[in-house]
Amino acid sequence: MIQIHTSKALAADLKAQLAEVPAGPGAMQWYAHRVYVLRCKCVVAMEAQSRYAMIFTGLTKPDFEMFPELFLERLASHEFNFGLRVNQMLSKRKGDNDYFYTA
């Protein structure tokens, strides 16, 4: 399971995809914030244990509507940084829609 703790600004952009889920002991914990860089919306996401960060730049409204898929696609393309843990987590996540957890 992947849990993403979002800032209020990012939660406003992702309100259609948000679902509050209970904290799982084996879940990958991510923290994500929406920021503006040169008047463009960007998301900075960081994994809590490893502090590995991913930055999504120049996001538009359609990108926010597809953010769960965009996030998983980016994570899978960088899975060499996490080793087998990411691959195992993603295989368990297929078909599961509780990506987001808001604090």
Residues 6 or more apart whose CB falls under 8 angstroms from that of 9 comprise: 33, 34, 35
What are the sequence ranges of the domains in the chain? 2-101
| Residue 22, pLDDT above cutoff 50 | yes
Q: pLDDT tens, 57-87?
A: 999 999 999 998 999 888 887 765 555 555 5
pLDDT of residue 50: 84
Share of the chain above pLDDT 90, in %: 42
Share of the chain above pLDDT 70, in %: 75
pLDDT of residue 103: 40
* CA nearest to 67, candidates 24, 1, 6, 21: 6
pLDDT confidence of 8, banded at 50, 70, 90? Answer: very high
What is residue 80's DSSP assignment? G
